[in-house]
Structure 1
Amino acid sequence: MKPVAPVTGFRIASPLLSGILWSVIWLAIGTIVLSLMLYGTSMAEADTVPWVFGIHGFASCCGGFVSARRAGHKGWSIGLGIGLTYAILVLISSFLAHDIGWTPRIALLLGIAAAAGAFGGMLGVNTGGGQARRK
């Protein structure tokens, strides 16, 4: 008896693209949760700055994890690259949407995203999902 073939065979081969995609997915989930917290509690918008940096750090960590797991080697450097790429994409979209200026928060976002991406990459490369471990 032959097994049924999978219906969708779509898989992103590039570790960079898959890491950025998962970062954006976790950013969207974090944004929805933060919006629900703002709506359902007495939290003011001025109190959301630490939450926003936490969401960006978590999203960058997840992206670094996925990309390093797919790559199978150089975990911290791949995660660092994902974190910086993610932060630059967020900053570009923020600049285009709201015409933000350069503040110390931008440097803080770049640092948090880079460090969290590198940490996620170190964790992801050791989970055994890459090409080097499948041989």
Structure 2
Amino acid sequence: MNPINKVSQARVMSPILSGLIYAFVIMFAGTLFTSLILLLTSANESNLPAFSYINHIISLLVGGWVAGKKSGTKGWYYGGMLGCIYTLIIFMIAFLSFDAGLNGRSFLLLCVSLLSAGIGGIFGVNSRK
């Protein structure tokens, strides 16, 4: 009987699910950081949309990077899919919690999500080497 020399490892999580988990953890940490900035400084709540977009961009860059690194190929594809799913989850939470509909900001968030997660996915694939 021949011994098995190589055992293939199965991936525990898909690249998109891994990226989503990282993106939401970073988003949660960024939300806490933004809350502390608003609490401890003289920043107004009128700056909140800018802080929100910055938070989404950073979390999607990290999530796209993780998805691209885990996939190994097609980082823009996995990053873009991550951006779409992330945006759909955010839209569902906004609709169910705050009865918010789709508007121009929703379309802007979708574009920003696709772009930043796709760029993160590209960097993730290239950081694997």
Displacement, 1:103?
Answer: 1.4
What is the TM-score with the length of structure 1 in the denominator?
Answer: 0.84
Q: Which residue of 1 aligns with 2:81?
A: 81
Cα shift readout 1:74-114 (whole Å, capped 9, x = no counterpart) = 01111111011111111111111101122100000000011
* Sequence identity (%): 32
Q: Which residue of 2 aligns with 1:51?
A: 51
CA gap 1:45/1:71 in 2 versus in 1, 3 angstroms? same
TM alignment of 1:13-92, pairs within 5 A = 13-92=13-92
Unpaired runs of 5+ in structure 1? 1-10
Q: Which residue of 2 aligns with 1:4?
A: none
Structure 1 segments of 4+ aligned residues over 3 angstroms from their partners: none
CA distance in 2 between counterparts of 1:38 and 1:95 reads 25
Q: Which amino acid aligns with 2:44?
A: A
User: What do you get for the CA RMSD once the two structures are aligned?
Assistant: 1.3
Q: Which amino acid aligns with 2:101?
A: G
Displacement, 1:13?
Answer: 2.2
* Conserved 8 A contact 1:83-1:117: yes
Unpaired runs of 5+ in structure 2? 1-10
Displacement, 1:12?
Answer: 4.0
CA gap 1:42/1:122 in 2 versus in 1, 3 angstroms? same
CA distance in 2 between counterparts of 1:88 and 1:62 reads 18
